[in-house]
Amino acid sequence: MSRLVAPSLLAADFTNLKQDVEMINKSEADWLHMDVMDGVFVPNISFGMPVIAAVHAISVKPLDVHLMIVQPERYIDAFKEAGAYLLNVHYEASPHLHRTVESIHQKGMKAGVTLNPHTSVNLLEDILPDLDLVLIMSVNPGFGGQKFIENSYDKVSRLKDLILKRNSKALIEIDGGVTSANARQLYDAGADVLVAGSYVFNDSNPTEAIKALKKA
C-alpha cells in the first residue's frame, strides 16, 4: 500500500503559478494533480495543454492529469506532448474505455479511470487488470472546495476488494474534500493517493499541509 499525496493546482494562485509549483517541488508531495475541464462534461472550464506544458517545464513531480472532458480519446497525443505522466479519463465520458486505456499505454503514460460519485465500482470489474489507477471522486467534479461525500470510504473498501479479487495492480486515488481530518480513514480504507486542492493552498503553510497528509 502506498501513501501518496497529489496537491491539486486548481486551488493555486494563478498569478503566481511558478511560485506554487516550486513550493510543491520542494515539498513531500509525490505527484502534481492538474484538472482539465471543458465546460461540457462538467459545468466549469479550467485550463488546457499550454498550462500543463508550462508547468511540466518547471515541475520535478510527475503530472497526474485529470480529464473532465468529453471524448478524452481525441486528445491523448496532445496530453502526452504536454508532459502528462498519468492520464485519468472519466468512465462516464468514454464508451470505448478499453481502447482509450490501450491508447494511453501505447503513448507511454500510466492510465487511470475516474468514477463520479454515483458510478458503481463494480462497473470496472472487467477493466481493472488493465488499469494503473482508479480515481474515486469524493465530490461532484467541476469545482474545488466542496464537501467530502461520506459514502466514499465504503466505495474505497469495495474497490480494494475488487482489485484484490481481479489481481489488479491499480492504485486507488481520492479527489475532492480531502483534508487531514479524513486522510487517515481514507488510507485505512485502502486509498493509495490523496488529491487535495483547497486544504493545501488555503493553509498559511502549504508545505506543512502536504506533510500532514503524508503523515495522517
- Would you please indicate which residues are annotated as catalytic (active-site) residues? 35, 175
Residues touching ligand DX5: how many (CB under 6 A)? 22
Sheet holding 110-115, edge to edge: 4-7, 193-196, 171-175, 133-137, 110-115, 86-90, 63-68, 32-37
- Grid coordinates of 95: 464508451
* 84 forms part of the interface with ligand DX5 (CB under 6 A): no
Minimum gap (Å) between residue 137 Cβ and Zn ion: 8
41, 46, 50, 54: CA torsion to nearest 10:
-130
Q: Is 195 in the site for ligand DX5 (CB under 6 A)?
A: yes
**Candidate list 30, 173, 175, 192; residue touching Zn ion; CB under 5 A:** 175
Number of residue whose CB is nearest ligand DX5: 197
| Binds ligand DX5 (CB under 6 A): choice among 12, 24, 27, 35 | 35
Q: How far apart are CA 51 and CA 74, in angstroms?
A: 18
* Residues 209/203, Cβ–Cβ less than 8 Å: yes
Taking the CB of residue 87, how many other CB atoms lie within 10 A of it? Answer: 28
DSSP secondary structure letters along 127-182: TGGG-SEEEEESS-TT-SSPPPPTTHHHHHHHHHHHHHHTT---EEEEESS--HHH
Distance, CA of 187 to CA of 175 (rounded, Å): 13
Q: Does 142 bind ligand DX5 (CB under 6 A)?
A: yes
Q: Does 132 bind Zn ion (CB under 5 A)?
A: no
Closest CA to 53 of 36, 40, 68, 69: 36
- Any contact of residue 11 with ligand DX5 (CB under 6 A)? yes
> Can residue 24 be called a binding residue for ligand DX5 (CB under 6 A)?
no
Q: Is 173 in the site for ligand DX5 (CB under 6 A)?
A: no
Q: Could you give the string, one character per residue 14-53, with x where binding to Zn ion holds by CB under 5 A and - elsewhere?
A: ---------------------x------------------
Does residue number 66 form part of the binding site for Zn ion (CB under 5 A)? yes
* Complex with Zn ion: residue 7 or 190, whichever CB lies closer: 7
Q: CB atoms < 10 A from the CB of 29, how many?
A: 24
- For Zn ion, the closer of residues 42 and 212 by Cβ is 42
**Interface positions with ligand DX5 (CB under 6 A):** 8, 10-11, 33, 35, 66, 139, 141-146, 175-178, 195-199
**Interface positions with Zn ion (CB under 5 A):** 35, 66, 175
